[in-house]
Amino acid sequence: MLILYNFLTRITYFLLWIAQWFSKKLRLFVQGRKTIFETLQNKISETDKTIWFHCASLGEYEQGLPIMEAVKKEYPDYLLVLTFFSPSGYEIKKNTNVADVVTYLPMDSMTSARKFIRLVHPSLVFFVKYEFWPNFLFCLQREKIPVLLVSGLFRKEQMFFKPLGGFMRKALRTFTHLFVQDKASKELLESIGIHNVTVSGDTRFDRVSQQIERDNTLGFIEEFKQDNLCVVCGSTWPEDEAILLEYINAAPANVKFILAPHKIEIGKIENFKKRLKKPAVLYSEMDDKTLLEYPILIIDTIGLLSKIYNYADIAYVGGAMGTSGLHNILEPSTFGVPVIIGKNYEKFPEAIRLQQLAGLFSVSDAEECNKVFTKLIEDRKFRSKTAMITEHFVNSNIGATEKTMDYVKKLEKMS
């Protein structure tokens, strides 16, 4: 099975190499991997002690960040090496201060895995949530390097739990310990004979809870909002914007909207503005504008959303109306903000749990969206009660980082 896997990996990389000429993202994916080993040779010496974190993309980086920060504080003499699989993670976080070395992860061949591990020679490895690369895992096991999975999340539809999933189950068993988000994941792993599992929760709760302690002041948002109610629509996709449009156009005058699209694409933003019946101002053009006069502010930049949620009275979090995947509902929740999402959220346990607690509302079309917004805006007591639920939800689920670090401190390898 390993021979077949390696053959398919080679074929996949060849196809990606061809496809790069038709896709900017795939070109970054392929070209970015050309300098991996050169970067490692230049930045890591044979005498350096290292700890390696691997994240698939940006979301996993945010999940792993609380542990990275804790590890950096606990083991300041170690270099922290961070790898990404996807350009959407690497390109945004390649200059992060939390890591000493940031690169792409090489394609999962035995040759690349051996060379990578030889150059990095980590004392400890963290894989965040997903990403199970057999050649890397088998190589790490042979070198007797401890590997931890953090914020893991498993579903019965995954290959590990299928009759033909023996090869991937073998790779999964190489983990020294698996920290998972929920009891269901633990039970699934135990059903295939994996018992070195701890239900630690989701490190994203720790991550967003830290946001409260930071300075979240944004003067331009205060100028824009004033004493009005504020709806923040974060990480939206065209499918989300299509159902939001009707309510935005019909909303009362005392309700202001901040829209922060997931992708900053000027053409799509301009197209959305044309469909609005109210004036909207872009973040990039607001210097010479009187923000108070505008009911709609569109954030055509990145990096501000987590602070903007501090000013929200209601939040719509995008991604679940289509198939791109629900974005982070915990960012508004930590500020005690009622959350509205789309209909496709069955793979996101935090959304399911918050909906069960009545702190989150799922809508499937514009009509449902209008009803939920109307209820939250017109019924102040209902809005306040929902807000308390979301804030309590975050506060009662922190602690995954501490549980993981307690285990790390006991590892003989780190002594």
The two tokens of residue 199 are 């239900």
Q: What is the largest CA-CA distance in the chain?
A: 65
DSSP assignment letter at 105: P
How do residues 37-87 score in pLDDT, each as one tens digit? 999 999 999 999 999 999 999 889 999 999 999 999 999 999 999 999 999
Q: Are 52 and 113 in contact (CB under 8 A)?
A: no
One-letter identity of residue 117:
I
pLDDT tens, N- to C-terminus, the chain (415 residues): 767 776 777 777 778 778 778 888 878 888 888 999 999 999 999 999 999 999 999 889 999 999 999 999 999 999 999 999 999 899 989 999 999 999 999 988 899 999 999 999 999 999 999 889 999 999 999 999 999 999 999 999 998 999 888 889 999 999 999 999 999 999 999 999 999 999 999 999 999 998 888 999 999 999 999 999 999 999 999 999 999 999 999 999 999 999 999 989 999 999 999 999 999 999 999 887 789 899 999 999 988 999 999 999 999 999 999 998 999 999 999 999 999 999 999 989 999 999 999 999 999 999 999 999 999 999 999 999 999 999 999 999 999 999 999 999 988 655 4
- How far is residue 254's CA from residue 233's CA, in Å, rounded to a whole number? 17
Q: Are 362 and 341 in contact (CB under 8 A)?
A: yes
Terminal CA-CA length for the chain: 37
> What DSSP string runs through 318-374?
-SSSSSS----SHHHHTTT--EEE-S--TT-HHHHHHHHTTSEEE-SSHHHHHHHHH
Domain spans in the chain, listed from the N-terminal domain onward: 47-201+399-413, 214-396
Q: Are 314 and 380 in contact (CB under 8 A)?
A: no
Regarding beta strands 147-152 and 177-180, do their DSSP bridges make them parallel or antiparallel, or are they unpaired? parallel
Report pLDDT for 22: 83
The two tokens of residue 33 are 């991997």
Instruction: Look up the CATH superfamily of 214-396.
Output: Glycogen Phosphorylase B; (3.40.50.2000)
Q: Among 177, 183, 195, which Cα is nearest to 407's? A: 177
Report pLDDT for 108: 87
Token match 């923040």: residue? 232
Report pLDDT for 288: 73
The CATH number, out of the four listed (3.90.1300.10, 3.40.50.280, 2.40.50.140, 3.40.50.11720), of the domain defined by the range 47-201+399-413: 3.40.50.11720
* Percentages of the chain per state (helix, strand, coil), in multiples of 5: 50, 15, 30
The two tokens of residue 78 are 């170690």
DSSP assignment letter at 97: T
Q: Are 169 and 192 in contact (CB under 8 A)?
A: yes
DSSP assignment letter at 256: E
Same fold for the pair 47-201+399-413 and 214-396: yes
If residue 209 lies in a helix (H) or strand (E), which one and from where to where?
Answer: helix 203-211
The residues annotated with a catalytic role in the active site are: 60
Report pLDDT for 412: 62
- How far is residue 280's CA from residue 241's CA, in Å, rounded to a whole number? 14
Which residues have a Cβ under 8 Å from the Cβ of 243 and sit 6 or more positions away?
Answer: 321, 342, 363, 365, 366, 369
* Sign of the CA dihedral with 62 first, then 12, 23, and 157 last: negative
How do residues 346-374 score in pLDDT, each as one tens digit? 989 999 999 999 999 999 999 999 999 99
Q: Is 319 left (phi over 0), alpha (psi -120 to 50) or beta?
A: left
Query: Would you call 262 helix, strand, or coil by DSSP?
Result: coil
The two tokens of residue 334 are 């930590």
